[in-house]
């Protein structure tokens, strides 16, 4: 197998990929430093592809500051759309398989049924819109791609909801948490495992997939589970979204149906609570 280039290697998912690749002894993984792997630098990217001639390109690089994106529209679009276009063009030229990470934020989140890949995408935030634009630009340059939409990522790496809750739970007696937004937490280690399984099996089932852990919960119930499993004595109070206004609007319901990933990619997906317990064990809390 040729080399596997990882862009956004220092981020949460990039670090999880490095962790899982080490566990599995996955060969030919190239975790590129940010200064060398700027997806907005076409000349630099061309030099990397010429040097490595990769079999796979995993793009974990993204603009993910959801609220800030409302004020930094052009920057978010450059990274989430134009950067993806730059990678897609080179993947097409070199016959490289692109694995692009996307988000549940491409949906409006106004329904109450698990979302399938063919459901209409109607983003309600700049972040969601620019990630959708990134999805749409790929097929202009290549037909060898996997787009994995995921949700509520957390792990023992980088900043995320689980680590924030553990920190706040140690500092405060009471926390108010939103209960009227429903989705599924995703352990980024599990997502990394799915990505490497696609590569290891040499899957040719290209296209768009949903991948999160199994189950459904609210942010309030997620936080409550974190405190319960970590034995953190903090009181949680459920509040509505309207009581915690943010610049960007979030989907109210973004539970994704993973049937396609399970049947076509052959991946087994753990329940979110099981994976949370694994993560907390690794954090030794």
The residues annotated with a catalytic role in the active site are 127
CA dihedral over 248, 225, 149, 281, signed as positive or negative: positive
220 closest CA partner among 171, 178, 164: 178
Helix 42-52 to helix 83-94 angle, to the nearest 10 degrees?
Answer: 30
Q: What is the dihedral of CA 247, 251, 252, 253, to 10 degrees?
A: -160
Record the tokens describing residue 238, joined without a space. Answer: 């459920």
Distance CA(128)–CA(63), nearest Å, equals 10
Strand ranges, E, within 38-136:
56-59, 97-103
For residues 114 and 261, the answer to whether their CB atoms sit within 8 Å is no
């Amino acid at each position: 197998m040729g080399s596997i280039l990882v862009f956004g290697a220092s981020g949460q998912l990039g670090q999880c990929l490095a962790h899982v690749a080490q566990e599995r002894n996955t060969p030919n993984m190239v975790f590129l430093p940010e200064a060398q792997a700027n997806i907005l630098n076409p000349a630099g990217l061309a030099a990397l592809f010429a040097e490595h001639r990769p079999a796979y390109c995993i793009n974990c690089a993204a603009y993910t500051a959801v609220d800030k994106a409302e004020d930094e529209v052009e920057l978010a679009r450059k990274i989430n759309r134009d950067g993806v276009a730059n990678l897609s063009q080179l993947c097409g030229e070199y016959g490289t398989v692109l694995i692009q990470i996307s988000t549940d934020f491409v949906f409006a989140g106004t329904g109450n049924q698990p979302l399938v890949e063919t459901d209409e995408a109607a983003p309600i935030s700049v972040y969601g819109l620019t990630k959708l634009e990134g999805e749409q630009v790929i097929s202009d340059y290549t037909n060898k791609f996997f787009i994995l939409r995921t949700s509520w990522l957390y792990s023992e790496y980088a900043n995320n909801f689980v680590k924030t809750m553990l920190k706040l739970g140690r500092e405060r007696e009471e926390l108010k948490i939103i209960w009227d937004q429903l989705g599924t937490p995703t352990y980024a280690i599990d997502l990394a495992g799915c990505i490497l399984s696609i590569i290891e099996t040499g899957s040719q089932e290209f296209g768009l997939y949903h991948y999160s852990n199994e189950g459904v919960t609210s942010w309030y119930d997620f936080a409550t589970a974190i405190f319960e499993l970590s034995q953190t004595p903090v009181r949680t109070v459920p509040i509505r979204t309207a009581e915690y206004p943010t610049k960007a609007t979030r989907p109210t319901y973004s539970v994704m149906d993973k049937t396609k990933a399970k049947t076509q990619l052959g991946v087994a997906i753990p329940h979110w609570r099981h994976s949370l317990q694994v993560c907390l064990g690794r954090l030794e809390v």
